[in-house]
Structure 1
């Protein structure tokens, strides 16, 4: 009886966390399925660029959610497996007690040394403990089933993730072609390549280049400055990512910049946060490919560190229009879905520098963007 009482103190494993992780992973898979459906619809869309842009963004959200779901599932499955392994000895005793109760004993085995009174008390104790043992058995059964479910979910999610990686790459390729074929964008000015080359050659800083942008424009059409007061502070970040460094924070080399650095996944799509005129698109200094957007007179949004840029100086683009893509591996595969890799932050290997300038004076991007809603 003492042995049975000790075993009844075995606490049931908490399955709620595992169930939540499974639900999150399934929800993420639904996002990925929705993105796949968007890709099919994008092929026949009238505005193919917009459709493909929304499709890629949906894939990026879905892939990120699936990666995070897989990571959480793997963590919970490992925790549950360790708990079960640690309880191996108690579980063996527990099963032995259940088998003992379920077998047909010798009638004399039920006699208590203290006589009829002791036997009656032992019987009453056993009657009270049996439901508790049943509950422990049910809890153990649920935990073991949850491990099997989580493992199966990991296999299914990994397969769908690989398919999603292939589909998003197809969408990116299609977007590259659609942007190359686009000829319907209005123009505010025409860039003079000679003046542009001279400005780049004579520029040593971003400040100097920004101040000379007006010199490279010819045949400029004056427009009514747009009001952005309602948008300032609520602009979406140009790409899905995490704020790695804010304005004025020193990097590893001790260099402080007035802009923010956004860590993104490889090949992340970059879009304009507001309707704007492209003032410059191309390589600049040590910033890699740079996109300079003018959302209103005397204001500039500088996006630096892109691998590919879309559009030409002088074109007017709508909010949400793709302006480029980040660098990184062209082909993504199952090596990129390791739960340990996702949790370590190495999946966000690309960095986008974002700077805001008003009257050629840097502004804090945190005052312009919704930086508390990183993707």
Structure 2
């Protein structure tokens, strides 16, 4: 019975199949992305349109860092699963090995002896023969698990160098972008701001609604014609920042307050871009909202962004689609943070929030009627 129990355990373990993601491949793909972004950074510094090239480079770094975080999270989770599985099976494997060693040392006549006589011995022999492939498969599976766990640990150790290079690269790219934006003076201007009227408007309004409604008062002349109609892009525009929808329009926050816009959770220092060609109607501090950017992609349509830390561009400039308008705040991630987030499975690393309000004909509408986005 002792032998039969051990062999049945082996058969059960051998027939348990589980589908697993490949965290090693995920992390390796992320490392490839980060190395490609580093190469792209070198090319961007000498590109003719440095702003466009650096914008694409920063976005490539952000995508690569996100992928590396996910790869490390999967690797840490998979290693934890393997460790628990191996620890749980230690006793079963030891018992099985002890039985097999007993069988290998027992003399043939003893093996042939069975309480049920020759027929019982034959049945036992058939059972052992039938379970031998299962035992071999189980041994191979255990070996693969151990090899995979070793590979995962090596991957997590070597990821540090990739992360150090990437974090340095993305910071370098952000600095270069700030300089390139300062040097960029050839953007078309649709109008010239009247700073006196702007100051009067700010001081005389108490709400974002009132300010947005009075924007026409801060211009002195319209040098360009209207921008093309983008109604055909409704519902398809990318979010201005890489992130997830934390709160939809009309959803109450922790204080029970409902707002007409959406709140996007982003990572610190994420790049914010204009989702389509648009005029900067306003950017700067406003009321108690911090820095505010108001974009006008077409007449009677405003995209209002609040929560940025660094601002690019000038009021009145017409920005092409995907052009940077600023950076989110917060402290840039450090290597230890990313590694620890992966080790403990933490996924809530989007500590900054960008609020987006959309106004058509001076009336707030659901921003997700214009933007394509997923909720966290």
Q: TM-score when scaled to structure 2?
A: 0.92
Q: How far off its partner does 1:89 sit?
A: 0.5
Matches of 1:82 and 1:279 in 2, distance apart? Answer: 58
Q: How far off its partner does 1:116 sit?
A: 5.0
Other-structure match for 1:80: 82
Match for 1:175 among 171, 174, 177?
177
Matches of 2:183 and 2:79 in 1, distance apart? Answer: 48
Other-structure match for 1:337: 339
Q: How far off its partner does 1:7 sit?
A: 3.3
Paired residues for 1:293-332 under 5 Å: 293-330=295-332, 332=334
Secondary structure of 2:8 counterpart? helix
Q: How far off its partner does 1:342 sit?
A: 8.0
Q: Deviations over 1:334-371 (max 9, x none)?
A: 22332368854431000001011112111111110012
Matches of 1:14 and 1:284 in 2, distance apart? Answer: 59
Q: Could you tell which deviates more after superposition, 35-44 or 257-266?
A: 35-44
1:109 to 2:110 alignment: yes
Match for 2:33 among 26, 31, 34?
31
Secondary structure of 1:249 counterpart? coil
Secondary structure of 1:87 counterpart? helix
1:286 to 2:288 alignment: yes
Q: For the structure 1 residues 144 and 342, does the alpha-carbon distance in structure 2 shift closer, same or farther, using more than 3 Å as the test?
A: closer
Q: Could you tell which deviates more after superposition, 83-92 or 304-313?
A: 83-92
Q: How far off its partner does 1:100 sit?
A: 3.9
Q: How far off its partner does 1:140 sit?
A: 1.3
Q: Is the 8 A contact 2:235 2:369 kept in 1?
A: yes
Q: How far off its partner does 1:170 sit?
A: 1.0
Number of matched pairs: 372
Secondary structure of 1:278 counterpart? strand
Match for 2:50 among 40, 48, 51?
48
Q: How far off its partner does 1:328 sit?
A: 0.6
Paired residues for 1:82-231 under 5 Å: 82-101=84-103, 103-114=104-115, 116-231=118-233
Secondary structure of 2:265 counterpart? strand
Secondary structure of 2:36 counterpart? helix
Q: How far off its partner does 1:107 sit?
A: 4.0
Secondary structure of 1:9 counterpart? helix
Other-structure match for 2:69: 67
Matches of 2:281 and 2:344 in 1, distance apart? Answer: 36
Matches of 1:333 and 1:137 in 2, distance apart? Answer: 38
Matches of 1:288 and 1:241 in 2, distance apart? Answer: 20
Secondary structure of 2:223 counterpart? coil
Secondary structure of 1:161 counterpart? helix
Q: Is the 8 A contact 2:215 2:281 kept in 1?
A: yes
Q: Is the 8 A contact 1:10 1:136 kept in 2?
A: no
CA root-mean-square deviation: 2.1
What are the ranges of 5 or more consecutive residues in structure 2 without an aligned counterpart? none
Q: For the structure 1 residues 286 and 342, does the alpha-carbon distance in structure 2 shift closer, same or farther, using more than 3 Å as the test?
A: farther
Matches of 1:100 and 1:118 in 2, distance apart? Answer: 19
Q: For the structure 1 residues 100 and 22, does the alpha-carbon distance in structure 2 shift closer, same or farther, using more than 3 Å as the test?
A: farther
Other-structure match for 2:248: 246
Q: Deviations over 1:67-113 (max 9, x none)?
A: 01211121111012111111111011123234445x45434433414
Matches of 2:242 and 2:339 in 1, distance apart? Answer: 18
Q: For the structure 1 residues 268 and 65, does the alpha-carbon distance in structure 2 shift closer, same or farther, using more than 3 Å as the test?
A: same
Q: TM-score when scaled to structure 1?
A: 0.92
